[in-house]
Amino acid sequence: MSYNALFLGNKSMLMKVMKKSFPELGLTSSDCVQMSPIPQSGLMGMFRKLLKEDSPSMIWSPYGGRCLQSPSLKSFST
């Protein structure tokens, strides 16, 4: 069984919360991937393009292209 979640903070903050609230899960720092935010200049460029559209929409995926590095997910790519 596995779980996916997003946490707005760094790994050490997450570990404190998880150890206090969900110690039975046994989460370790190596189970977590910390991602850096998109640079502001990149966001501004995306927003400028969106504002030119009649009905702009955006879907954000937090996975960062790393899903296929998981052996359990490789079967979905074939």
CA distance 5 to 31: 11
pLDDT at 78 over 50: no
Domain ranges of the chain: 1-28
Q: Alpha-carbon Rg of the chain, whole angstroms? A: 17
H/E stretch holding 6 reads: none
Per-residue pLDDT reduced to its tens digit, 63-77: 555 555 666 555 544
pTM: 0.47
